[in-house]
Structure 1
């Protein structure tokens, strides 16, 4: 286990248990193809180009996490994020996806908690933002329960209405503003 993995695992124990057989780690460029496949196979995420996932693993690895199968080392889930340039205490969560074989184990929530533990400590993040379409019940539940675990409020507003997208029928993207995040020591497990 690397020092980064140990830090993530230790911080994680304050929130949700990491599912057995899973290691949470920082993504590497060579994880880009697997992350792209997980996003594609989710059938709910807007799929970006495979090239963009390679760049993400290179340029935003510090604000993203990957779940690996402990035995094979292969990615089985991920969270991609970045720091808003004009709001350096805000982490924007871009995508969250878990391989079908790992769903129902709380892995997405564990990944979010692990990433938050890292970026609050290393980067001073105090708020999380993400966008969710109204029909995405699973993501709504994931981020609402995340806010509860972290003692934070959730404000919602439409960020991009459907007509802004070039493809017909795109749902509006609702911005979830979560924060301020409670200090790690005061958050109930």
Structure 2
């Protein structure tokens, strides 16, 4: 498992984190930005399947949002991963992802992870490829949503990354 820098607290998000998550996503310039309302709802309704990193002042500086798939309750779908630009390059995203998956493996029996990544998002490609390697898990890729299914203009395809089965996530 990857360790976060010692001055960060890994925590479940609270509704009060919604604004920070929205700002971090907006400032990332790579994520599809959802409405601020959706981040508030996410922090309320999916706090149990999401995680934040807090700086010394208690503000969220990074996050992973996800949910357990209703049709496949042993699979975590990771919706978004982002770290504030001032905190990038310190392994925070990997530590958040490892910690979240370890918690959900223990609490809910999660044995697989899915996410979608647009082609060319090398940071996310590296994050999830290295996650699979650390956990001794297989990784497959296939286009989940091709460009033409997006109703709101040009959008890159979303490639589904399936990772699993995971070895014991607490052992790494």
TM-score by length of 2: 0.97
- Give the superposed CA RMSD: 0.9
Indicate the residue corresponding to 2:127 in structure 1.
Answer: 142
Paired position in structure 2 for 1:93 = 78
Q: In structure 2, what is the equivalent of residue 67 of structure 1? A: 53
Q: Distance in 2 between matches of 1:157 and 1:127?
A: 16
Name the counterpart of 2:36: 50
Aligned length: 172
1:133 aligns with 2:106: no
Mapped to 1, the partners of 2:163 and 2:103 lie a distance apart of: 17
CA distance in 2, matches of 1:24, 1:17: 10
The structure 2 residue matched to 1:151, chosen from 112, 131, 136, is 136
| Structure 1 residue 166 displacement after superposition | 1.8
- Runs of 4+ deviating beyond 6 Å: none
**In the alignment, does 2:25 pair up with 1:32?**
no
Q: In 1, are the aligned partners of 2:98 and 2:169 still within 8 Å (CA)?
A: no
Runs of 5+ unmatched residues, structure 2: none
**Does the CA contact (< 8 Å) of 2:145 and 2:158 recur in 1?**
yes
| 1:183 Cα offset (Å) | 1.7
How many angstroms apart in 2 are the aligned matches of 1:65 and 1:121? 15
